[in-house]
């Protein structure tokens, strides 16, 4: 069987399509359609161990040879932690988030692993780790999906990918990320994998509702990236397999909901930890240490935040600070590894501000900060400027869209929606399914590719790899 697979920065989702009817599979907790893209392990070595165990057979034995050092460490850690063979050591989705919140100072926690796949300068062992993380998540999603349909295995999939995984790194970064995804998907048991730009997937889902042909600008504000595509769409095109000629422009960068959360945490929550205070010299406290604390989707920033040199820097800043007690809170935040918690609090504030003008944010230390919708708008303004530029980059000067189709979880925020609508004020804006459009479009594409329902020739995968 075949499926549309959205391996998202915020959530994973799986959908089937039969004769144009899409069914989202309930792979999430409590029958929901979305599994959070979060992994927690009591030790990082347990991730490789879990993948090898779940693969089993020849595939498991082959990977075990490549991960011998990690497996040896896992055996030592089981003894050190006094764990029995049946004890859980790795958690995915909501269970991972809860395990992290219970003991944030222990274990290995990663949120939105997709955000790291195109990072520059990844060492071979880091690439291997992300391959294992993605493989483990895909194994889990695939197993949950197959349990839902109870009709054999899912062997073919169309997987979504952003136009650009990173803001820098170019096609080399894209190829690195796509290779990790493909390797993981094959290890997880998919025989055939095709990739499709996420905004095109959203566009194909929107196309199913169109009664006349239109030129559509799709703006997908996802968890890790914002992607824009200008596409000719309509009933006269939807059954055609080859769509390269309908795709008039693409743009994308790693600016997503995670970045909005980080910006909000930086500007409104980091003052509690000393941002904006002064040194005894009268100079402002440097911003970089606070940015490294909240930039949880930046490999380099997180490496620096957890380094010995960061500890030394904090000690020096505390000697020179007019308000050292605020920096002491940053010391505790780092020591207890509660920076993920802080950004999660900012995410919840962002969601709350979609309905209210003022929300209360509780810090990991129990203190409260009031955050207003105006403060959120100001915090994300530089990011929204870049999103506006992406929209214009996808649209030629002499070819305006007939309609703007907006999707992605963060597009629900009034501060985001209003800025998107302001770019082409004369063009109507349609709000799509904020979370399901991409998955549904991937499933529709899977039916065209794998069920032979389409006409025309070519792959038309829209990955930019041809």
Structure tokens at 262: 């980080």
| 3-class secondary-structure state, position 54 | helix
Average pLDDT over residues 416-436: 91
Average pLDDT over residues 347-367: 95
What is the rounded (10 degree) CA torsion for 211, 212, 217, 218?
Answer: 20
Structure tokens at 412: 């629900």
Reported as a single tens digit per residue, the pLDDT across 56-70 is: 999 999 999 999 999
Kind of pairing between the strands at 247-253 and 226-233:
antiparallel
DSSP 354-399: TT-SEEEEE-TTS-EEEEEHHHHHHHHHHHHHHHHHHHHHHS-TT-
Q: How far is CA 122 from the centre of its chain?
A: 18
Cβ atoms 154, 215 nearer than 8 A:
no
pLDDT of residue 145: 95
Domain membership of residue 374 (yes or no) is: no
The confidence band for 22, taking pLDDT boundaries of 50, 70 and 90, is very high
Check whether 453 has a pLDDT greater than 70.
no
Check whether 41 has a pLDDT greater than 70.
yes
The dihedral region occupied by 154, where left means phi > 0, alpha psi between -120 and 50, and beta the remainder, is beta
The confidence band for 454, taking pLDDT boundaries of 50, 70 and 90, is very low
Cβ atoms 194, 459 nearer than 8 A:
yes
Average pLDDT over residues 321-348: 94
The confidence band for 451, taking pLDDT boundaries of 50, 70 and 90, is confident
Domain membership of residue 157 (yes or no) is: no
The confidence band for 460, taking pLDDT boundaries of 50, 70 and 90, is very low
Domain membership of residue 102 (yes or no) is: no
CA 283, 284, 285: angle at the middle one, nearest 5?
120
- Strand (E) or helix (H) holding 404: strand 403-407
The confidence band for 126, taking pLDDT boundaries of 50, 70 and 90, is very high
Residue 389 Cα distances to 226, 385, 392, 418, angstroms: 11, 6, 5, 15
Reported as a single tens digit per residue, the pLDDT across 259-277 is: 999 999 999 999 999 999 9
Cβ atoms 373, 361 nearer than 8 A:
no
Report DSSP state, residue 52.
Answer: H
Reported as a single tens digit per residue, the pLDDT across 290-309 is: 999 999 988 889 989 999 99
Kind of pairing between the strands at 214-221 and 226-233:
antiparallel
pLDDT of residue 106: 87
pLDDT of residue 169: 61
Domain membership of residue 223 (yes or no) is: no
Spatial CA neighbour of 268 closest among 299, 290, 238, 239? 290
345 vs 371: CA distance, rounded Å: 11
Q: Which of 62-66, 93-97, 101-105, 163-167 has the lowest mean pLDDT?
A: 163-167
Number of domains in the chain: 1
| 3-class secondary-structure state, position 164 | coil
Long-range contacts of 142-151 (CB under 8 A, 24+ apart): 142/14, 142/188, 142/189, 142/190, 144/14, 144/25, 144/27, 144/35, 145/3, 145/14, 145/25, 145/27, 148/25, 148/26, 148/27, 149/1, 149/16, 149/25, 151/1
Cβ atoms 192, 155 nearer than 8 A:
yes
Residues 6+ apart with CB under 8 A from 17: 4, 23, 440, 443, 444, 446, 447
Q: How far is CA 134 from the centre of its chain?
A: 12
Residue 116 Cα distances to 10, 244, 340, angstroms: 13, 29, 15
Check whether 176 has a pLDDT greater than 90.
yes
What is the rounded (10 degree) CA torsion for 136, 142, 148, 154?
Answer: -160
Domain membership of residue 191 (yes or no) is: no
5 vs 14: CA distance, rounded Å: 5
pLDDT of residue 300: 86
Cβ atoms within 10 Å of 279's Cβ, excluding its own:
15
pLDDT of residue 465: 38
pLDDT of residue 292: 97
Cβ atoms 438, 198 nearer than 8 A:
yes
Spatial CA neighbour of 138 closest among 183, 99, 95? 183
Structure tokens at 209: 């509702």
pLDDT of residue 464: 40
Q: End-to-end distance of the chain based on CA atoms, in angstroms? A: 26
Check whether 452 has a pLDDT greater than 50.
yes
The confidence band for 178, taking pLDDT boundaries of 50, 70 and 90, is very high
Domain membership of residue 410 (yes or no) is: no
Q: Which of 141-150, 158-167, 446-455 has the lowest mean pLDDT?
A: 446-455
Average pLDDT over residues 414-441: 92
Check whether 152 has a pLDDT greater than 80.
no
Average pLDDT over residues 372-396: 95
81 vs 76: CA distance, rounded Å: 9
Check whether 461 has a pLDDT greater than 90.
no
320 vs 333: CA distance, rounded Å: 20
Average pLDDT over residues 429-448: 91
Q: What is the mean pLDDT of the chain?
A: 92
Domain membership of residue 22 (yes or no) is: no
176 vs 5: CA distance, rounded Å: 19
**Domain coverage including residue 266:** 258-351
Q: Kindly calculate the radius of gyration of the chain based on its CA atoms and give it in whole angstroms.
A: 23
pLDDT of residue 4: 97
270 vs 262: CA distance, rounded Å: 10
Cβ atoms within 10 Å of 334's Cβ, excluding its own:
19
Domain membership of residue 357 (yes or no) is: no
Structure tokens at 229: 């595509």
Residues 6+ apart with CB under 8 A from 87: none
């Amino acid at each position: 069987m075949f499926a549309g697979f959205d391996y998202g920065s915020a959530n994973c989702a799986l959908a089937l399509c039969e004769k144009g009817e899409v069914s989202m599979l309930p792979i999430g907790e409590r029958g929901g359609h979305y599994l959070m893209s979060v992994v927690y392990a009591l030790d990082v070595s347990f991730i490789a161990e879990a993948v090898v165990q779940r693969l089993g057979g020849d595939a498991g034995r082959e990977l075990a040879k490549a991960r011998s050092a990690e497996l040896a460490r896992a055996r030592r850690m089981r003894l050190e932690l006094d764990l029995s063979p049946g004890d859980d050591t790795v958690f995915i989705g909501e269970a991972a988030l809860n395990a992290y919140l219970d003991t944030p100072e222990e274990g290995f926690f990663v949120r939105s692993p997709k955000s790291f796949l195109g990072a520059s300068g990844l060492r071979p062992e880091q690439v291997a780790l992300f391959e294992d993380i993605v493989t483990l998540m895909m194994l889990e999603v695939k197993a949950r999906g197959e349990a839902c349909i109870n009709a054999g295995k899912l062997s073919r999939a169309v997987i979504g990918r952003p136009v650009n995984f990173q803001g820098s790194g170019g096609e080399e970064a894209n190829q690195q990320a796509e290779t990790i995804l493909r390797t993981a998907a094959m290890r997880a048991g998919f025989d055939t994998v095709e990739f499709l730009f996420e905004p095109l997937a959203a566009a194909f889902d929107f196309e199913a509702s169109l009664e006349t042909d239109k030129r559509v600008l799709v703006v997908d504000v996802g968890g890790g990236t914002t992607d824009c595509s200008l596409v000719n769409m309509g009933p006269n095109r939807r059954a055609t397999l080859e769509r390269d000629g309908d795709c008039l422009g693409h743009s994308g960068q790693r600016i997503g909901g995670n970045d909005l959360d980080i910006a909000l945490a930086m500007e409104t929550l980091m003052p509690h930890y000393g941002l904006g205070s002064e040194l005894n010299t009268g100079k402002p406290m440097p911003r970089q240490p606070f940015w490294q604390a909240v930039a949880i989707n930046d490999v380099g920033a997180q490496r620096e935040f957890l380094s010995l040199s960061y500890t030394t820097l904090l000690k020096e800043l505390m000697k020179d600070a007019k308000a050292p007690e605020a920096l002491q809170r940053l010391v505790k935040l780092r020591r207890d590894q509660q920076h993920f918690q802080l950004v999660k609090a900012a995410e919840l504030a962002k969601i709350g501000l979609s309905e209210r003008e003022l929300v209360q944010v509780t810090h990991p230390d129990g203190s409260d900060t009031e955050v207003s919708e105006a403060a959120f708008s100001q915090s994300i303004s530089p990011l929204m400027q870049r999103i506006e530029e992406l929209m214009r980059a996808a649209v030629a000067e002499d070819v305006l869209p007939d309609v703007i189709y907006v999707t992605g979880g963060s597009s629900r925020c009034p501060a985001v929606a209003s800025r998107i609508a302001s770019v082409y004020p004369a063009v109507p804006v349609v709000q799509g399914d904020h979370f399901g459009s991409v998955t549904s479009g991937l499933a529709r594409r899977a039916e065209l590719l794998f069920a032979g329902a389409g006409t025309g020739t070519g792959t038309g995968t829209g990955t930019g790899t041809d």
